[in-house]
């Protein structure tokens, strides 16, 4: 139970906009991908979303909190994801289908995340390995 308390405390030490971003945009957008398993891009988008997320559960658990290293799985798995999505969106005529709108949302959210993740991983490799 202490570990869960430590994780919650660490999360709450993140700045408030980051907490809002994670809970109201980043997590929902990536879990939205489960609804796209049968979409035009198949399993690749949900798979890359979860591969960018699931390792962070273990990393945060081991270090008992949130640090900049959590950006690493995002960079590894979400970079190809946004490239795939960007290519799909550029080549597909826009429409009001659920899949198109969801892909566009995931593309925007994860692209923004990758911008922040690039800064965070640079900080981590620069020696900022503290836990929030």
In a domain, 130, yes or no: no
pTM exceeds cut of 0.85: yes
Number of domains in the chain: 1
In a domain, 14, yes or no: yes
CA angle 38, 28, 65 (to 5 degrees): 125
Structure-token pair, residue 109: 């959210």
Q: Which pLDDT band, with edges at 50, 70 and 90, does 71 fall under?
A: very high
In a domain, 104, yes or no: yes
| pLDDT recorded at residue 1 | 84
Would the pLDDT of 9 be above 90? yes
| pLDDT recorded at residue 112 | 98
User: What is the distance in angstroms between the CA of the first residue and the CA of the last residue of the chain?
Assistant: 19
Q: Which pLDDT band, with edges at 50, 70 and 90, does 75 fall under?
A: very high
| pLDDT recorded at residue 132 | 87
Residues 6+ positions from 48 with CB-CB distance below 8 Å: 77, 78, 80, 81, 84
DSSP 64: T
Range of the domain at 18: 2-125
């Amino acid at each position: 139970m202490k570990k869960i308390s430590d994780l919650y405390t660490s999360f709450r030490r993140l700045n408030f906009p980051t907490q809002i971003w994670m809970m109201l945009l980043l997590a929902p957008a990536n879990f939205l991908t489960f609804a796209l398993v049968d979409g035009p891009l198949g399993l690749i988008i949900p798979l890359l979303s979860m591969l960018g997320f699931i390792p962070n559960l273990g990393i945060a658990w081991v270090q008992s909190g949130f640090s900049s290293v959590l950006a690493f799985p995002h960079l590894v798995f979400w970079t190809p994801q946004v490239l795939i999505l960007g290519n799909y969106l550029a080549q597909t005529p826009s429409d009001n289908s659920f899949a198109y709108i969801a892909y566009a949302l995931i593309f925007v959210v994860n692209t923004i995340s990758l911008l922040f993740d690039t800064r965070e991983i640079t900080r981590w490799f620069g020696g900022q390995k503290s836990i929030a």
